[in-house]
Amino acid sequence: MFGNFTYSNPTKLYFGDESLSYLHDELKNYGPTVMLAYGGGSIKKNGIYDAVCEILHAEGKRIVELPGVMPNPTVEKLYEGARLARENNVDLILAVGGGSTIDYAKGVSCSAWCEEDPWQKYYTRFEEATCKVIPVGAILTMVGTGSEMNGGSVITNHSLGLKVGKVFGDYAFPKFAILNPKYTFTVPQYQMVAGFFDIMSHILEQYLSGSDDNTTDYLAEGLMRSLVHSSRIAVKNPQNYEARSNIMWTATWALNTLIAKGKSTDWEVHMLGQAMGAITDATHGMTLAVVSLPYYRHIINSPNAKEGAVAKFARFAANVWNVDRTGKSEKQMAEEGLKALENWMCEIGLVMHSAELGVTEENIPAIADGTFLLDSGYVTLTRDDVVKILRESM
């Protein structure tokens, strides 16, 4: 490992089926006005809303409701939340939901007191917040993004055809996050497996880069093995607490900054997926699923790939999928590893073709235009490469 780094994570986690009870103590740390941000209503159906409100009332809080945070939250919704938070002088934003709601809460927390246009400041110029930032607490109901323990906040601007992730500093991480695996039992199967692939993709984005021997790569392999094992159980029995709790914990570690430490990372799959999401509004994890294999096959076949590329994919085959190395070249191993990944993706029921997400030959140029091209992975794509990968994803 050659990188120099600082590691700290400011989010306090409460994990387990009794974790909501800790909300009482956490609320005592904040003033009287709590903005309750949530999505399209799933928390009202499964009882989480009532349980949270009961605690808010017991702690004497004034609740400012902010419902209707959509999957892939929009910039218009961000402006609405920022206005509401400022008008009500909110002391804490409590996000109850999946990555969309938590990402959104972070965006609102840094935008409410911002004197500039937050889209311009954070999602175009990628500046840090310089205004008062409202603290965020998270109650996670859907697993995948890692938003519960990171500074990520992804906002979609449909009028510009862009979906952009801003990674805020420590100051915007949730101050606390409550993770009850039982809350994820009601997530629809489509969203559940999309979240599983989001986790896999986060790990791969950080694992498939660099050529040094690196402790975090061994951690990544362990996380992937656990995810594959538990996902197979969860798709057959979504109410299996052991599998769902392991996946919840894996998701958090997959993107809470730890496995990026000391090494290079890629993130081009997310750039492709987010650009596709901006145009189609498709579910995040599914956009990643459809572009991953074409992108990875592009890498292992690219004459310009950086040192260590094929060897890393071969290691992935051996250490994550138990592919036997006997008599095989690194290239054959790499191909077999990707085949094993593909088989698992089909097995858990992911969407494998972008045409099913609304990608057409006509909207490929707009998706290509919205794809940021990064140079930290094994290859740096050109716009032509992006178009080719998008076509192959269909």
Cβ-contact 186, 45 below 8 angstroms: yes
Q: Please pick, from the candidates 261, 270, 306, 315, the single residue that binds ligand NZQ as defined by CB under 6 A.
A: 270
Name the one range near Zn ion by CB under 5 A: 149-157, 194-202, 297-305, 323-331: 194-202
Asked whether position 205 contacts Zn ion by CB under 5 A, the answer is no
Please say which residue, 30 or 123, places its beta carbon nearer to Zn ion: 123
Q: Please pick, from the candidates 31, 41, 169, 365, the single residue that binds ligand NZQ as defined by CB under 6 A.
A: 41
Q: Please pick, from the candidates 198, 266, 268, 385, the single residue that binds Zn ion as defined by CB under 5 A.
A: 198
Minimum CB distance to ligand NZQ, residue 206 (Å): 12
The one of ligand NZQ, Zn ion, none whose footprint includes residue 72, by CB under 5 to 8 A per kind, is: ligand NZQ
Minimum CB distance to ligand NZQ, residue 311 (Å): 26
User: How far is the CA of 275 from the CAs of 44, 158, 324, 367, in angstroms?
Assistant: 32, 11, 37, 5
Minimum CB distance to ligand NZQ, residue 12 (Å): 17
Asked whether position 122 contacts ligand NZQ by CB under 6 A, the answer is no
The one of ligand NZQ, Zn ion, none whose footprint includes residue 137, by CB under 5 to 8 A per kind, is: none
Residue 84's SS3 state is helix
**CB neighbour burial string for 177-202, b if at least 16 within 10 angstroms, e if fewer:** bbbbbbbbebbeeebbbbbbbbbbbb
Q: Which residue is nearest to ligand NZQ (CB)?
A: 39
Asked whether position 336 contacts Zn ion by CB under 5 A, the answer is no
Name the one range near ligand NZQ by CB under 6 A: 94-102, 117-125, 318-326, 358-366: 94-102
- Which residue ranges make up the site for Zn ion (CB under 5 A)? 198
- Which residue ranges make up the site for ligand NZQ (CB under 6 A)? 39-42, 46, 71-72, 97-101, 103, 141-142, 144-147, 150, 152, 154, 165, 183-184, 186-187, 191, 195, 198, 255, 270, 284
